């Protein structure tokens, strides 16, 4: 059943896109591309749910030979384990909901059909990435989602900001992808395969390496991680994601929050067995720094979508940190909970934007003509970074919307409570707590300063997250309307948009999520090059997952549940287990404290107005400027890197034109002159009519060719033909 | 027989076209189309019926031609040549269709020259006698010269002469090397005995025989260089590349397609067929990884990739940009060949075919736009995606294929070349990946400047791509997708031959 099901999952969305593309060649449209795409996605969702039953304890890759070169072969295939199935369900579920939401949101867009076709293509690519059993297949899906992201960010390509943003997204992620490709080349050079699983796969080969041989493996791991840095918008390649908000909001929800950007985390999780202590630490630190940097930038944004974008970056950093610190299950758990609540937040913001849209469309006409008047072609690779916020996304125009849009408000509030880590009731709390507990557990177990630092970073980021998320809620839904005109226009969105919000809100409660964290459903793959305790204890990570699950549902204490389930085998494992258990308790208390503090401060600042945000900004001007200017990453890239590249390309082109071609033309001229002199020499010194004759003929022929008319060419052709025949005949006579 | 028929049908077509009255233009076009469709059908037949399990030469014909010099009319195909024959034969009718409306003068001569060109190209890829090989090589030169020089743009004369002299310079060196090989072909242990030969398979065997003059590594090095420079001009390899942008910019659309699609491949095909197969000792000197010269071929590939890409980034003429991108992409071929291992050579050959298909698409697409706007200035457009959605879609496909997006054909060849090269030249390969990023940069930037943004008011009435133009692009687009998804379709044809070649190279 597995192969047919996966095939349907992949082919349904692909077929939907193919229909659009083929009809497009004939300049036609399928009448209801929206229903077609949505239907395809629902079919894929159904099949994904059926796959839950099919996961076996010993997953085997299902492969076909894709490329055979004699000595080296590349195979393509599927690998289905519990993580794959969870990812399939997350992707198809969020994608289905986004499809449905878009039926309302994109209504009336001139390229309505195209939008759904692109969503289909994206879903196919993402699903292909998820089920691939080898690095090459993952890379193919990886780049294809990048293409779809490009197409969808630039969906409203008439806007220069959108046209810039899609290019930036593609190029920035490509920088990371090249790193990933180099990592793949390293693995290929060593193991002569890009398959991951099975007896001949990379993971098996890695297991046999001696500990002295893993220095290069660390480098390969970090290089592969570069791909994830690009795709999951980790520092320093994160700058494309906020700009990607130029795409339609459903796209932001699906691609730039829930699925594609999480693919980087998925990749690192997939590559878990090849990680070494060094590469793990690098991953964890990049994740931690990203979580902090993005969170601090989010505090000062006013564009509702940008706040969410930076929040996404920050949360992705969290997941990376988790996996880098060895908390495999926690990282993936957070990936799924985040997918739901962040998609909900984006769709909710879409609902708000939609509410303001009638107003905006009004303004738009006036701007439009103005835009058309000025020079539109952007002639440089460097652009201004629009601090221009569209009025319908500016939180300073919002306020008091909770009465106007009650359903949007309640669902978004649920998501906010979840992401902020409000305890016990919301899924976000559990996944975040698992990460914090996992990192602290490792710190205590190994007595590692690095992991204590990482824990501190994660904890601070958690507090900031609670702060800026509630800032968003307070500014948008509470208080008095700041822009009365726009407020009057606002309205609750139609049902087709609200229903997906409600479904996602339900998914933000742990009841649903824990279904997947069934006992023994997820087992972290072994890491062969990370020191001992990891092996010795019976993966407390997953057990504690179960414990939390039990806790949340039945009110059983963590300790009890854990002890019942775990049954540690050895004394050492027992130790490690207890350390982790204690770590989780400490982490839980701390995380509740920072979340509460964040929410409290936000409430004081933005609801009760006890403190003035402007006042604080003035007091800490340099810090505020740093956050406001996004740590100057964009300025550095555009001003230095892009400018250098363009300068270099112009230099090369100039070199080509003046120097190389100059030499060529020079040689040509000299040759001609020498020949002329040479002929002149003969002319003067050697009284030989023959040479003169030759020269005359040559020059005459030259003149002829220059003036040649098309009529003459036919003659020429006959001459050539005759010549060939003549040559053949002459040679035959020899 | 089938093979000979395929090669000479276009020549027959040329005679027929020349005999047609000049005024009946429709008839001339249809006749030309018919005479280019025949080789296509035959090429498909050959491609399908070629026995993939055996690496040897098939469909060979070997009859004496010029007895005095032991020159034979020896043709035959292996997996590599049949793949390139298919490419050539496919581009034939496509180019005729692309010339349907935009050849304003001398249509008859144009079509006749085009048919002559096709015979030259087909013959070149099938020739197994060095002399014949050379004759066909030269046979492509003359029609190309006139096609650029007469039907080209404003600077056509300069471009045509530059192309002609460059290639002639290369072929003179090739001729010298060829004669050297011929003269030494009967020298064993310093003693000349028996007849000399131009026969390529025989020469390959002799060059591998210990004690034979052809097997001497110093000798091999020099003839290697002679042939190599001849082919390098065609590829073109830096610094012999400057004829290419000029030729492309001036040539009419269809001729650009042939130039990029087939003529460049003649260079790399020659390198595989002659340089690598016949002179492995000579090759080793430039690819054994020892010192500067041991890395030189890989370095040339690297320079082509990076230099070509950066130059492309700076261009503002759409066609010139595509021309420079060709230089960059041919660099991957050189890099893969320099690797000399299975992944590298297979990747290089695949890249040859794929680049032929993709660059043909790119030049056709530039032509479509040029026919409408009568200029190619990238900054002079803007926002035309609103007016030409289908055209934009196809262009996006071609750009993505060219910048090596996985799932499309461009990726497979590029990736295999790099994978192969990395095993031999780590640093050079890593540096070459810069080209991947820059490649994406110039294509996306072009996409943005031409297609995205607000519509340039000048192009309010731009007509969408028409059916004939779509027809020229669709087969290439299908190939791009099919070969991206199922590369074995082409790889199967030559992977056996490559394995043999790799074994020879490994033995050095």
pLDDT tens for each residue of B404-441: 999 999 999 999 999 999 999 999 999 999 999 999 99
Token pair recorded at residue A205: 């080969």
- Cβ separation of B448 and A182 shorter than 8 Å? no
Cis status, amide bond into B236, omega within 30 of 0: yes
Question: Most B CBs within 10 Å: which of A113, A713, A727, as the mutation test of the B interface?
Answer: A713
Query: Chain A closest CA to B149's CA: distance in Å?
Result: 9
- Give DSSP secondary structure letters for A634-670: HHHIIIIIIHHHHHHHHHHHHIIIIIIHHHHHHHHHH
Per-residue pLDDT at A555: 34
| Partner B contacted by A3 (CB < 8 A) | no
Query: Chain B closest CA to A136's CA: distance in Å?
Result: 9
User: Strand (E) positions, A109-177?
Assistant: none
Question: Rounded CA gap, B397 and A206, in Å?
Answer: 38
- pLDDT higher for B137 or A703? B137
Quote helix, strand, coil % in chain B, to nearest 5: 75, 5, 20
The residue of chain B with its CA nearest to that of A653 is B311
Token pair recorded at residue A36: 């077609």
For residue A185, the chain B residues in CB contact (below 8 A) are 418-419, 422, 429
| Partner B contacted by A178 (CB < 8 A) | yes
- Nearest-CB residue to A170 (from B243, B382, B440): B440
Q: Give the A window 389-448 contacts with B, CB below 8 Å.
A: none
| Partner B contacted by A53 (CB < 8 A) | no
Token pair recorded at residue A688: 């030989």
Beta-sheet pairing, B187-188 with B191-192: antiparallel
The residue of chain B with its CA nearest to that of A657 is B242
Question: Most B CBs within 10 Å: which of A26, A672, A717, as the mutation test of the B interface?
Answer: A717
Query: Chain B closest CA to A659's CA: distance in Å?
Result: 11
Query: Chain B closest CA to A156's CA: distance in Å?
Result: 9
Q: Are B134 and B119 in contact (CB under 8 A)?
A: no
- Cβ separation of A157 and B385 shorter than 8 Å? yes
Question: Rounded CA gap, A708 and A713, in Å?
Answer: 8
What's the CA angle centered on A62, arms A97 and A145, to 5 degrees?
Answer: 40
| Partner B contacted by A219 (CB < 8 A) | no
The residue of chain A with its CA nearest to that of B451 is A157
- Nearest-CB residue to B445 (from A27, A154, A381): A381
- Cβ separation of A178 and B436 shorter than 8 Å? yes
For residue A69, the chain B residues in CB contact (below 8 A) are 342-343, 346, 416, 491, 495, 498-499
Q: Are A437 and A325 in contact (CB under 8 A)?
A: no
Token pair recorded at residue A584: 């989780």
- Nearest-CB residue to A185 (from B429, B445, B502): B429
Question: Most A CBs within 10 Å: which of B195, B242, B381, as the mutation test of the A interface?
Answer: B242
What are the C-alpha distances in Å from B124 to residues A334, A728, B84, B182? 61, 18, 10, 19
| Partner B contacted by A557 (CB < 8 A) | no
pLDDT digits (tens, 9 = 90+) for B48-95: 888 887 767 888 888 888 888 888 999 999 889 999 999 999 999 999
The residue of chain A with its CA nearest to that of B55 is A70
Q: What is the ipTM of this complex?
A: 0.92
- Cβ separation of A660 and B239 shorter than 8 Å? yes
Question: Most A CBs within 10 Å: which of B440, B460, B476, B498, as the mutation test of the A interface?
Answer: B440
| Partner B contacted by A167 (CB < 8 A) | yes
Query: Chain A closest CA to B263's CA: distance in Å?
Result: 21
Query: Chain A closest CA to B189's CA: distance in Å?
Result: 30
Question: Rounded CA gap, B396 and B481, in Å?
Answer: 13
pLDDT digits (tens, 9 = 90+) for B439-448: 999 999 999 9
State phi, psi for A55 to the nearest 5 degrees.
-70, 125
What are the C-alpha distances in Å from B303 to residues B330, B347, B374, B425? 11, 18, 33, 14
Cβ-Cβ contacts under 8 Å for B233 (sequence gap 6 or more): B166, B167, B169, B170, B240, B243, B267
For residue A70, the chain B residues in CB contact (below 8 A) are 342, 495-496, 498-499, 502
What three-state secondary structure class fits A148? helix
Question: Rounded CA gap, A390 and A105, in Å?
Answer: 17
- Cβ separation of B157 and A706 shorter than 8 Å? yes
| Partner B contacted by A213 (CB < 8 A) | no
Per-residue pLDDT at A8: 92
Question: Rounded CA gap, A233 and A319, in Å?
Answer: 12
Q: Are A17 and A121 in contact (CB under 8 A)?
A: yes
- Cβ separation of A710 and B382 shorter than 8 Å? no
Cβ-Cβ contacts under 8 Å for B129 (sequence gap 6 or more): B65, B71, B72, B73, B74, B75, B198, B199, B200
Per-residue pLDDT at A520: 58
- pLDDT higher for A677 or B391? B391
Cβ atoms < 10 Å from Cβ of A567: 10
A/B interface, count of CB pairs below 8 Å: 216
Token pair recorded at residue B401: 């294929």
For residue A710, the chain B residues in CB contact (below 8 A) are 105-106, 109-110, 150
What is the residue-averaged pLDDT of chain B? 91
Query: Across the 734 residues of chain A, what is the mean pLDDT of every consecutive 10-residue run?
Result: 87 94 86 91 93 72 79 84 88 95 90 92 95 91 94 92 92 94 93 86 85 86 94 92 92 91 93 90 94 92 92 94 89 91 93 73 42 39 55 82 88 92 84 89 87 93 93 88 81 88 89 58 76 44 41 36 41 71 86 90 86 83 86 86 88 88 83 71 55 55 50 56 62 53
- Cβ separation of A664 and B492 shorter than 8 Å? no
| Partner B contacted by A378 (CB < 8 A) | yes
The residue of chain A with its CA nearest to that of B107 is A710
For residue B496, the chain A residues in CB contact (below 8 A) are 70
State phi, psi for B259 to the nearest 5 degrees.
-55, -55
- Cβ separation of B242 and A664 shorter than 8 Å? yes
- Cβ separation of B310 and A653 shorter than 8 Å? yes
Give the residue carrying structure tokens 């036609």: A28
- Cβ separation of A710 and B65 shorter than 8 Å? no
pLDDT digits (tens, 9 = 90+) for B257-313: 999 999 999 999 999 999 999 999 999 999 888 888 889 999 999 999 999 999 999
Per-residue pLDDT at B39: 95
pLDDT digits (tens, 9 = 90+) for B222-240: 999 999 999 999 989 988 8
| Partner B contacted by A707 (CB < 8 A) | no
Question: Rounded CA gap, B31 and B25, in Å?
Answer: 10
Q: Mark residue A275 as left, alpha or beta (left: phi above 0; alpha: psi -120 to 50; beta: remaining).
A: beta
- State how far Cα B118 lies from the chain centre: 13
- Cβ separation of A69 and B405 shorter than 8 Å? no
Question: Rounded CA gap, A683 and A680, in Å?
Answer: 5
| Partner B contacted by A726 (CB < 8 A) | no
What three-state secondary structure class fits B208? coil
- Cβ separation of A70 and B499 shorter than 8 Å? yes
Per-residue pLDDT at B102: 84
Per-residue pLDDT at B339: 92
Question: Rounded CA gap, A461 and A470, in Å?
Answer: 14
Domain boundaries, chain B: 295-508
- Give DSSP secondary structure letters for B103-136: --S-HHHHHHHHHHHHHHHHHHHHB-BHHHHHHH
- Nearest-CB residue to A653 (from B113, B157, B315): B315
H/E stretch holding B63 reads strand B58-66
Question: Rounded CA gap, A578 and A559, in Å?
Answer: 9
- Nearest-CB residue to A652 (from B311, B488, B498): B311
What is the percent of chain B with per-residue pLDDT over 70, rounded to a whole number? Answer: 100
- Cβ separation of B390 and A652 shorter than 8 Å? no
| Partner B contacted by A658 (CB < 8 A) | no
- Show contacts of B155-162: CB within 8 Å, 24+ apart: B155/B246, B155/B249, B155/B250, B156/B250, B156/B251, B157/A706, B158/B246, B158/B250, B159/B243, B159/B246, B159/B247, B159/B249, B159/B250, B159/B251, B160/B247, B160/B250, B162/A664, B162/A668, B162/B242, B162/B243, B162/B246, B162/B247
Question: Most B CBs within 10 Å: which of A66, A181, A364, as the mutation test of the B interface?
Answer: A181
């Amino acid at each position: 059943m597995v192969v047919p099901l996966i095939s349907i999952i992949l082919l349904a969305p692909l077929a939907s896109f193919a229909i659009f593309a083929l009809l497009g060649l004939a300049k036609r449209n399928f009448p209801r591309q929206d229903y077609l795409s949505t239907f395809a996605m629902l079919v894929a969702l159904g099949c994904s749910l059926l796959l839950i039953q099919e996961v076996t304890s010993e997953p085997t890759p299902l492969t076909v030979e894709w490329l055979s070169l004699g000595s080296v072969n590349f195979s393509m295939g599927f690998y289905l384990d519990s993580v794959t199935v969870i990812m399939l369900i997350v992707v198809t579920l969020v994608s289905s909901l986004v499809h449905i939401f878009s039926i309302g949101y994109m209504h009336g867009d001139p390229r309505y059909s195209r939008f759904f076709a692109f969503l289909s293509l994206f879903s196919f690519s993402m699903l292909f990435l998820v089920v691939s059993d080898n690095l090459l297949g993952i890379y193919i899906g990886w780049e294809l989602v990048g293409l779809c992201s490009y197409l969808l960010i630039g969906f409203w390509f008439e806007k220069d900001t959108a046209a810039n943003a899609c290019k930036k997204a593609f190029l920035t992620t490509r920088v990371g992808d090249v790193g990933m490709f180099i990592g793949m080349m390293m693995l290929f050079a060593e193991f002569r395969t890009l398959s991951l699983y099975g007896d001949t796969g990379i993971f098996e080969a890695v297991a046999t390496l001696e500990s002295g041989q893993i220095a290069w493996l660390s480098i390969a791991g970090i290089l592969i991680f570069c791909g994830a840095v690009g795709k999951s918008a980790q520092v320093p390649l994160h700058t494309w994601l906020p700009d990607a908000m130029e795409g339609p909001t459903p796209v932001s929800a699906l691609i730039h929050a829930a699925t594609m950007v999480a693919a980087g985390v998925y990749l690192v999780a997939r590559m878990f067995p090849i990680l070494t202590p060094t590469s793990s630490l690098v991953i964890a630190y990049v994740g931690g720094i990203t979580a902090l940097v993005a969170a601090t930038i989010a505090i000062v944004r006013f564009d509702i979508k940008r706040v969410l974008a930076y929040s996404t970056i920050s949360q992705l950093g969290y997941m990376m940190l988790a996996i880098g610190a060895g908390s495999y299950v926690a990282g993936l758990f957070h990936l799924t909970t985040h997918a739901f609540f962040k998609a909900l937040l984006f769709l909710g913001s879409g609902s708000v934007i939609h509410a303001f849209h009638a107003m905006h469309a009004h303004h738009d006409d006036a701007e439009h003509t103005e835009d058309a008047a000025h020079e539109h072609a952007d002639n440089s690779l460097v652009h201004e970074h629009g601090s221009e916020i569209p009025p319908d996304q500016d939180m300073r125009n919002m306020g008091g919307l909770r009465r106007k849009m009650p359903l949007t408000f309640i669902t978004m509030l649920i998501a906010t409570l979840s992401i902020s880590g409000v305890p016990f009731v919301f899924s976000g709390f559990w996944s975040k707590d698992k990460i914090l507990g996992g990192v602290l557990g490792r710190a205590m177990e190994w007595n590692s300063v690095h992991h204590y630092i990482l824990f501190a970073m994660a904890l601070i980021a958690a507090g900031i997250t609670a702060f800026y998320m509630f800032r968003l809620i307070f500014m948008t839904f509470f208080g008095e309307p700041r822009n009365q005109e726009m407020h009057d226009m606002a309205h609750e969105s139609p049902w087709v948009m609200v229903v997906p919000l409600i479904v996602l809100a339900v998914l933000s409660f742990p009841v649903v999520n824990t279904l997947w964290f069934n006992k023994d459903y997820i087992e972290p793959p072994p890491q062969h090059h990370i020191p001992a305790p990891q092996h010795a204890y019976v993966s407390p990570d997953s057990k504690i997952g179960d414990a939390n699950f039990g806790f949340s549902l039945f009110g059983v204490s963590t300790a009890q549940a854990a002890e019942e389930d775990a049954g540690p085998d050895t004394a050492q494992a027992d130790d490690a287990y207890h350390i982790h258990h204690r770590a989780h308790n400490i982490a839980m208390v701390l995380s509740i404290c920072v979340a509460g503090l964040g929410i409290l401060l936000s409430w004081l600042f933005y609801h009760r107005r006890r403190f003035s945000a402007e006042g604080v900004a003035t007091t800490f001007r340099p810090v505020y400027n740093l956050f406001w200017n996004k740590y100057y990453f964009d300025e550095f890239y555009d001003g230095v890197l892009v400018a250098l590249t363009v300068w270099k390309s112009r230099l090369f082109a100039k070199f080509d034109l003046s120097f190389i071609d100059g030499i060529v033309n020079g040689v040509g001229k000299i040759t001609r002159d020498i020949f002329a002199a040479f002929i002149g020499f003969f002319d003067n010194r050697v009284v030989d009519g023959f040479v003169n004759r030759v020269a005359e003929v040559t020059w005459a022929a030259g003149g002829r060719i220059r003036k040649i008319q098309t009529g003459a060419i036919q003659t020429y052709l006959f001459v050539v033909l005759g010549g060939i025949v003549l040559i053949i005949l002459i040679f035959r006579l020899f | 027989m089938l093979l000979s028929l395929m090669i000479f049908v276009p020549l027959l077509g040329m005679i027929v076209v020349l005999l047609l009255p000049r005024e009946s233009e429709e008839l001339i076009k249809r006749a030309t189309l018919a005479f280019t469709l025949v080789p296509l059908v035959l090429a498909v037949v050959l491609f399908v019926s070629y026995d993939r399990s055996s690496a040897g030469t098939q469909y060979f014909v070997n009859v004496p031609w010029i007895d005095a010099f032991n020159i034979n009319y020896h043709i035959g195909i292996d997996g590599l040549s049949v793949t390139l024959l298919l490419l050539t034969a496919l581009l034939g009718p496509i180019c005729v269709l692309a010339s349907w409306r935009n050849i304003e003068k001398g249509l008859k001569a144009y079509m006749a020259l085009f048919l002559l060109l096709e015979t030259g190209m087909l013959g070149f890829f099938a020739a197994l006698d060095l002399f014949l090989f050379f004759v066909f090589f030269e046979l492509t030169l003359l029609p190309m010269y006139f096609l650029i020089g007469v039907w080209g743009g404003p600077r056509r004369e300069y471009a045509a002469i530059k192309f002609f002299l460059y290639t002639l310079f290369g072929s003179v060196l090739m001729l010298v090397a060829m004669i050297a090989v011929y003269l030494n072909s009967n020298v064993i242990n310093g003693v000349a005995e028996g007849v000399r030969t131009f026969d390529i398979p025989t020469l390959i065997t002799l060059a591998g025989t210990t004690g034979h003059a052809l097997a001497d590594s110093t000798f091999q090095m020099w003839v290697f260089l002679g042939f190599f420079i001849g082919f390098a001009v065609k590829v073109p390899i830096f610094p012999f590349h400057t004829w290419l942008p000029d030729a492309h910019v001036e040539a009419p659309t269809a001729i650009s397609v042939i130039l990029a699609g087939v003529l460049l491949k003649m260079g790399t095909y020659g390198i595989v067929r002659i340089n690598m197969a016949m002179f492995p000792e000579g090759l080793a000197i430039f690819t054994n990884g020892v010192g500067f010269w041991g890395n030189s071929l890989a370095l040339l590939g690297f320079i082509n990739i990076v230099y070509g890409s950066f130059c492309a980034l700076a261009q503002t003429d759409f066609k010139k940009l595509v021309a420079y991108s060709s230089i960059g992409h041919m660099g991957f071929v050189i890099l893969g060949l320099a690797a000399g291992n299975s992944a590298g050579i297979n990747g290089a050959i695949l890249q040859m075919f794929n680049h032929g298909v993709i660059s043909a698409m790119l030049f056709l697409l530039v032509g479509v736009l040029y026919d409408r706007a009568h200029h190619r200035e990238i900054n002079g457009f803007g926002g035309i995606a609103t007016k030409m959605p289908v055209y934009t879609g196809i262009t996006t496909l071609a750009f993505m294929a060219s910048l090596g997006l996985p799932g499309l054909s461009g990726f497979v060849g590029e990736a295999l070349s790099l994978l192969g090269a990395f095993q031999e030249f780590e640093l050079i390969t890593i540096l070459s990946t810069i080209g991947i990023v820059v490649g994406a940069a110039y294509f996306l930037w072009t996409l943005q400047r031409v297609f995205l943004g607000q519509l340039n008011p000048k192009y309010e009435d731009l007509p969408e791509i028409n059916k004939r133009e779509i027809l020229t692009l669709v087969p290439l687009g299908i190939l791009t997708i099919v070969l991206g998804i199922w590369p074995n379709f082409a790889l199967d044809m030559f992977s056996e031959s490559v394995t043999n070649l790799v074994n020879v190279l490994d033995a050095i």
